[in-house]
Amino acid sequence: MTRIRLEYHGHVAYITLDHPPANTWTLASLQAFLQMMVELDGRPDVVALVIRGAGDKFFCAGADLNMFADGNLEHAREVAEAFGRAFEALARFHGVSIAAINGYAMGGGLEVALACDIRIAEQQAKLGLPEASVGLLPCAGGTQRLTELVGPGWAKRMILCGEKVSATLAYEMGLVEEVVKEGHAWEAAHQMAQLVERQSPSALRACKTLINQGRSGHRDAALPLERSLFLTLFDDANQREGVAAFLEKRAPRWHYDQPTPLKRE
C-alpha cells in the first residue's frame, strides 16, 4: 500500500501523505508521488497543488529508516534516485505548489516542503534535517534548497548541528512564508490556492519560469527574458480575456487548454 492520495477540487490538486504513524516515505510512496506529478504535468487545468500530512502530529517524518537497515548499497541508490526524481518533478510543476505543514517536518518531510513554492506551518510544527545523526545526509535537495532559502549559516546549524527549529523561528529565517494556529494549515493553504485560481494560468506559468530563472541564473539574463515572456503572453487568449474582464468589471473566464509555449528569444 502506497499510503498517498491525489484528489482534485476545481483547478486545485491535493496530495495527502497518509502513512501512520509518522507519514514516512517508502520507495513505493516516492514512486507513486512521481507518477502523480507526471499526471499533474499533463493537466494544464490544474494551477495549484497543496501537499499535507494526514493526522495532527506529523506532516512527514522523512524516510522510513527500515529501508536502510540492511546497508544494501543498490537499494539505497534506488531510494535516493526516487527521492530526487520525485522532488525535482515537484519543483518543476507548472502551477503553484503549497506545503501545509501541520506538524513535524523532518528529513525528507522537510525536503518535500522545500521543493514547494510556498510553505505554511502551524505554530506547533517543528522542522529539521537530522540525517547526519543517523550517518546519512539530505539527498533530496535539502542541502541546496535549504541553503538557498535561509543562507549557509542556518543551513549548517540545521544540517551539521541537527538543530530543529520552531515554526516561528522558521518564519523569521525565511524558511516558511506563514505561520498559522494549530489545525489551520490546511485551511490557509486552501485559501491561498483559491487566490491562485483567480490568476491567469498562462501568466502564472510565465511568472514562475522567470522567478526560477532569477534564482538559478544571473539577473542580467532574466531581465530580457522577462520582457520576452511579457510579449509572448499577447499570443495567448488569457491576455485578451484578462484585460477585457478588467475593463468590463467582471470575473475573467480563463482558458485552461495547453498553454502557449514560453519563448525565450
135 in the same domain as 238: no
Cell of residue 70, nine digits: 540492511
Find cell 514547494 and name the residue.
Answer: 116
Least confident of 32-41, 65-74, 177-186, 213-222: 213-222
Q: Would residue 69 count as lying in a domain? A: yes
Q: Would residue 22 count as lying in a domain? A: yes
Cell of residue 229, nine digits: 515572456
- Among 66-80, 107-121, 131-145, 248-262, the range of highest mean pLDDT: 107-121
Average pLDDT, rounded, for the chain: 92
Cell of residue 9, nine digits: 477540487
Domain residues for the domain of 74 are 4-197
Q: Catalytic residue among 131, 172, 182, 265, which?
A: 131
- The beta strand positions in the chain, using DSSP E, are 4-9, 12-17, 48-53, 58-60, 96-101, 104-106, 118-122, 126-128, 165-166, 178-180
103 in the same domain as 11: yes
**Residues shown for the chain:** 265
pTM of the predicted model as reported, rounded to 2 decimal places? 0.92
Provide the domain count of the chain: 2
Q: Catalytic residue among 88, 111, 163, 187, which?
A: 111
Residues 143-164: pLDDT tens digits?
999 999 999 999 999 999 999 9
- 187 carries an active-site annotation: no
Confidence of residue 212 (pLDDT cuts 50, 70, 90): confident
Q: Would residue 262 count as lying in a domain? A: no
Beta carbons of 237 and 51 less than 8 angstroms apart = no
Beta carbons of 138 and 159 less than 8 angstroms apart = yes
pLDDT value of position 262: 63
- 131 carries an active-site annotation: yes
SS (H, E, C) 74-96: HHHHHHHHHHHHHHHHHHHCCCE
211 in the same domain as 167: no
Check residue 161 and report its DSSP letter: S
Q: Would residue 234 count as lying in a domain? A: yes
Q: Would residue 258 count as lying in a domain? A: no
Q: Would residue 259 count as lying in a domain? A: no
208 in the same domain as 116: no
Instruction: Supply the CATH number for residue 218's domain.
Output: 1.10.12
How far apart CA 91 and CA 88 sit, in angstroms, is 5
Q: Would residue 99 count as lying in a domain? A: yes
142 in the same domain as 59: yes
156 in the same domain as 53: yes
Cell of residue 134, nine digits: 543517523
CB atoms within 10 A of CB 180: 21
Q: Strand pairing partners for 97?
A: 49
- Percent pLDDT > 70 in the chain is 95
147 in the same domain as 131: yes
Residues 127-141: pLDDT tens digits?
999 999 999 999 999
235 in the same domain as 167: no
Beta carbons of 62 and 81 less than 8 angstroms apart = no
177 in the same domain as 207: no
Beta carbons of 103 and 57 less than 8 angstroms apart = yes
How far apart CA 261 and CA 39 sit, in angstroms, is 19
Instruction: Supply the CATH number for residue 155's domain.
Output: 3.90.226.10
19 in the same domain as 72: yes
Beta carbons of 59 and 103 less than 8 angstroms apart = yes
Q: Would residue 264 count as lying in a domain? A: no
219 in the same domain as 138: no
164 in the same domain as 135: yes
